[in-house]
Amino acid sequence: MGTVFVSGALPGGVTAWLAGRHDVVQHDGGVATEAFSEVAPRLEGLVSLLTDRVDAALLARAPRLRVVGNVAVGVDNIDLDACRARGVVVTNTPDVLTEVTADLAFALLLGAARRVGEGDRTVRAGAFGGWTPSYMLGARVHGATLGVLGLGRIGRAVARRARGFSMNVLYTQKRRAPETVEQELSARFVDLAELLGQSDFVSVHCPLSPETRHLLDRERIASMRRGAVLVNTARGRIVDEAALADALATGHLAAAGLDVFEDEPRVHPALLSSPGALMTPHIGSADRHTREAMARLAAENVDLVLSGNPPKTPV
């Protein structure tokens, strides 16, 4: 039994389950609330959301904290070094969201390529003037080359989907994937420059870290194929949003499918007015089953650590 702060309403009765085992304080406003400040001195467990900044300053306010269960696979909102230095265990929610996030990445890839958002807006505005041979032409997906930036769980699931569209799959990451994985996915390892220069579609699946912040900067976006499509379901800050908006405006990139943004929930105004940007509000893992599984896993991890056991999914 310990004191646990739950940052936000969790689906699937998970907070009630946790409250049956611990002294739980739940507040929808997250760690920036009075409710958190009040409980911080006696806090032992934290179920955090990706919108919570868990840094050295927060840890200093919660000296008894033993575990942070992040309800996300990404942990860029958490200062891992600061947690390590204080002996605070950090956990995340891998696996349970892999397939649904890959589904959304592919939905954005297809939708951006075939101008689905733009088409929908046109029809709704009553501006569909009738079929003509060269009306609203998009980019061809079938048989095109897909560059996967980060062949982790979600990157692999996207590559698997790409095979169904007879796409040619390239990937890049720090270390080459095992040969069995490359064979299963028919994926070819290349460096970043080659991936950007050869791909008709680039889909981002690496974690956000100081090394990957603006990995796709102005220069690298300019090195992408003319008419290429960029898809980002990982973290907004991996892409220089202003440079991306410029590349869409000049027509260097045909389209972008974006589920994540540099400064959420704010979206760069130039993207908002770009017809080629197909955007969703960070919903990669947003199906009920997945969100319940994420919440449950985060809560179980916190419970396990507070009961003296190893967590299921430590970072």
Chain residues that interact with ligand DGY, rule: CB under 6 A: 50, 72-74, 97, 284-285
Output 12 or 119, the one with its CB closest to ligand DGY. 12
Active-site residue identified among 182, 184, 194, 264: 264
CA distance 209 to 44: 27
Give the containing element (helix H, strand E) for 194.
helix 192-198
Backbone angles phi, psi at 187, to 5 degrees: -105, 135
Contact 265, 239 (CB under 8 A): no
Does the annotation mark 194 as catalytic?
A: no
Say if residues 31 and 292 touch (Cβ distance below 8 Å): no
Q: How far apart are CA 96 and CA 7, in angstroms?
A: 20
Q: Give the shortest CB-222-to-ligand DGY separation in angstroms.
A: 27
Alpha-carbon span 140 to 109, nearest angstrom: 11
Q: How far is the CB of 124 from ligand DGY (least distance, A)?
A: 29
Which of 73/109 has CB closer to ligand DGY?
73
Tell me the sheet residues that pair with 266: 263
Q: What share of the chain is helix, strand, coil (3-state, %, to 5)?
A: 40, 20, 45
Give, for 145, the enclosing helix (H) or strand (E).
strand 145-149
Q: Which is nearer to ligand DGY, 53 or 188 (CB)?
A: 53
Shortest distance, CB of residue 12 to ligand DGY, whole angstroms?
A: 15
For the question of residue 264 being annotated catalytic, the response is yes
Greatest Cα pair distance, the chain, in angstroms, is 68
Q: Which is nearer to ligand DGY, 208 or 305 (CB)?
A: 208
Q: Catalytic: 235?
A: yes
Host H or E run for residue 68: strand 67-70
Chain centroid offset of residue 123 CA: 30
Nearer to ligand DGY, 242 or 283 (CB): 283
Given the residues 156, 220, 237, 282, select the one marked as catalytic. Answer: 282
Work out how close the CB of 70 gets to ligand DGY at its nearest, in angstroms, rounded to a whole number.
8
Q: Which is nearer to ligand DGY, 73 or 216 (CB)?
A: 73
27, 115, 235, 291: which one is catalytic?
A: 235
Is the distance from CB of 78 to CB of 54 less than 8 angstroms?
yes
Cis peptide before 265 (omega within 30 of 0): yes
Q: Are strands 3-7 and 45-48 parallel, antiparallel or unpaired?
A: parallel
Q: Which residues are catalytic?
A: 235, 264, 282
